[in-house]
């Protein structure tokens, strides 16, 4: 049980102001991720990344965050969560400026990796601070709803602001959205956020920290390589190496005097199940969001601003769902909200298998909104279950575990679903691309849909139209397959939630069955 069962003082004005500051940081954090998807077509045209480089630009951020979240969470428990948050905000602002003016795909990949390091310090700090600032169960539920809503709001307004910037400026301008907000956080944070650290925590174990990072990055890299290029020695070696280092990490945590991660948390069945559901939810959300953004721009030919406006309702769906959840969970069992939400998301994803290349924005919009409404309660409730299972002094570590699962799910969603889609795209174009397309143009067209659009624009009339139609059909085929996979996964997890979390009563996030 959580420490809230013993002491639950109500938060005052200072805590709510502090929550507003934290929510602002989360909002920009989410905006930074959503606007990048909108920038993919312009970015591809300017930097000419290969398909592999494009995937790394998108998901290296998630890889680094996933690898470092637990380490940063436990480090925050030791040196102070507010201090860790402010350090991350400063790094995020500086690197965002550099990324905005990146001259090459390689430079942008490095910047995205550094942003991942900064993000790893921000994400667990905001969540752990919230759990320490709001000890009353109802207030905490509202605060977590605001936290989820901030991410949702970022997802809603990010495409609009990003679309406006992309209509009027270069692709790198979307990175500058984070700078003024992070500066504001640096100014207000020390005044309204309390400092929290564990007074009895031991020394940070550098060996465990390195092992944790190596495990996460090796596993994700290996799975990404297998999904994109098939089974090979490098991919197998990465997965096996990650598993070996991971096993050694677990053994060290069980025998070390000051373990970086208290593995006793995983003995709680609700903790384990909630973490899995949260991870799968993020997996499908990130996967479909990438495809929808490209579908509107590269298949239907919409401008970045129009795409942002069309995608805004799905973000609004997240906001509505996350704000209703604290009220619903008081009277409805978490299992029903989580299971029902995942089932609704599964229906939305399966609707995406019906998208067409001509005027299907209505179906895409409806599917996105349904997915958002379904996933919103899932993220808030599972996060509370995961972090609420830990004692207050371990909130940073538990937050790190929660955020690690989420970021790993996002990275896997982008890399695995994205890689499957690319494999289908290339396979289809190998047989459908017109034979009289010049060899070098054919190679470029088979790389990414964005490259195919550029190639088609440089070819004479009918030939260019044929290339464009073949590329759009191939891309949409990949979307159909990956959306189907994600939809089925959502429905399976819905059943798991109904069966494994049904013992939790309404309003209780930390009871153990």
- In whole angstroms, how large is the CA radius of gyration of the chain? 22
- In this prediction, residue 72 carries a pLDDT of 77
Whole-model pTM: value is 0.71
Those residues whose C-beta lies under 8 Å from the C-beta of residue 88, and which sit 6 or more positions away, are: 72, 118, 119, 120, 121, 122, 125
Distance CA(138)–CA(153), nearest Å, equals: 22
Residue 193: partners with Cβ closer than 8 Å, 6 or more residues away: 18, 21, 22, 82, 85, 129
Nearest alpha carbon to residue 143 among 14, 28, 11? 11
Which single residue is written with the structure tokens 């640096």? 186
Is-contact 259 203, C-beta < 8 A?
Answer: no
Token pair of 133 as six digits: 């600032």
Looking from the CA of 342 toward its CB, the CA atoms found within 13 Å total 32
Asked whether the beta carbons of 298 and 399 are under 8 A apart, the reply is no
Ordered alpha helix ranges (H), 256-302: 269-294
Q: What's the confidence (pLDDT) of residue 82?
A: 82
* Sole residue written with tokens 């592999």: 52
pLDDT for res 494: 93
What pLDDT, on a 0 to 100 scale, did the predictor assign at position 396? 58
Q: Report pLDDT for 4.
A: 41
CB-based contact 222:99 (threshold 8 Å): no
Q: Is 342 exposed, middle or buried (0-12, 13-18, 19+ CB in 10 A)?
A: buried
Q: How far apart are CA 375 and CA 281, in angstroms?
A: 7
- pLDDT of amino acid 200: 62
Task: Please answer whether residues 52 and 224 qualify as being in contact, where contact means their C-beta atoms are separated by less than 8 angstroms.
Answer: no
Query: Coil, strand, or helix at residue 201?
Result: coil
pLDDT along the chain (513 residues), means of 10: 49 80 79 71 79 75 72 75 85 90 88 86 75 76 77 71 80 84 84 72 75 80 65 83 90 80 73 85 74 78 76 77 78 89 93 82 85 85 76 62 69 72 84 83 79 82 86 88 90 91 70 44
Specify the pLDDT at position 7.
47
């Amino acid at each position: 049980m959580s420490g809230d069962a013993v002491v639950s003082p109500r938060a005052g004005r200072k805590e709510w102001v502090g929550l507003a500051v934290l929510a602002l940081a989360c909002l920009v954090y989410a905006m930074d991720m959503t606007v990048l998807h909108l920038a993919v077509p312009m970015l591809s045209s300017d930097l000419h990344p290969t398909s592999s480089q494009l995937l790394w630009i998108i998901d290296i951020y998630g890889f680094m965050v996933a690898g470092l979240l637990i380490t940063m969470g436990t480090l925050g428990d030791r040196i102070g969560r507010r201090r860790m948050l402010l350090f991350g905000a400063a790094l995020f602002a500086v690197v965002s400026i550099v990324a905005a003016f990146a001259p090459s795909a390689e430079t942008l990949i490095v910047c995205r990796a550094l942003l991942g390091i900064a993000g790893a310090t921000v994400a667990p700090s905001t969540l752990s601070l919230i759990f320490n600032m709001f000890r009353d169960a109802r207030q905490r539920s509202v605060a977590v709803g605001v936290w989820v809503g901030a991410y949702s709001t970022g997802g809603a307004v990010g495409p609009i602001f990003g679309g406006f910037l992309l209509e009027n400026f270069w692709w790198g301008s979307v990175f500058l959205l984070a700078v003024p907000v992070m500066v504001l956080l640096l100014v207000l944070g020390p005044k309204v956020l309390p400092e929290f650290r564990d007074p009895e925590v031991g020394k940070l174990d550098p060996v465990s920290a390195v092992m944790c990072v190596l495990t996460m990055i090796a596993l994700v890299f290996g799975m990404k390589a297998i999904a994109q290029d098939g089974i090979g020695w490098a991919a197998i070696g990465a997965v096996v190496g990650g598993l070996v280092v991971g096993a050694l990490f677990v053994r060290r945590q069980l025998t070390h005097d000051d373990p970086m991660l208290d593995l006793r948390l995983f003995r709680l069945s609700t903790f384990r199940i909630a973490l899995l559901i949260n991870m799968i939810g993020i997996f499908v959300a990130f996967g479909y969001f990438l495809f929808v953004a490209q579908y509107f721009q590269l298949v239907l030919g919409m401008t970045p601003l129009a795409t942002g406006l069309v995608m805004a309702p799905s973000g609004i769906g997240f906001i509505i769902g996350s704000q209703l959840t604290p009220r619903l969970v008081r009277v409805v069992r978490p299992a029903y909200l989580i299971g029902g939400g995942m089932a609704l998301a599964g229906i939305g994803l399966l609707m995406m298998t019906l998208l067409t290349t001509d005027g299907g924005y209505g179906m895409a919009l409806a599917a996105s909104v349904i997915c958002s409404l379904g996933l919103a309660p899932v993220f808030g409730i599972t996060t509370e279950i995961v972090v609420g299972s830990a004692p207050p002094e371990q909130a940073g570590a538990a937050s790190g575990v929660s955020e690690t699962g989420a970021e790993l799910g996002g990275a896997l969603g982008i890399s695995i679903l994205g890689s499957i889609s690319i494999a289908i795209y290339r396979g289809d174009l190998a047989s459908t691309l017109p034979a009289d397309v010049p060899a070098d143009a054919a190679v470029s067209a088979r790389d990414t849909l964005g490259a195919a659009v550029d190639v088609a624009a440089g070819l004479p009339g009918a030939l260019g139209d044929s290339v464009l139609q073949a590329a759009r059909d191939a891309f949409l085929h990949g979307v159909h397959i990956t959306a189907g996979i994600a939809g089925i996964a959502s429905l399976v997890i819905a059943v798991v939630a109904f069966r494994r979390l049904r013992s939790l009563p309404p309003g209780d996030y930390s009871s153990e069955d």
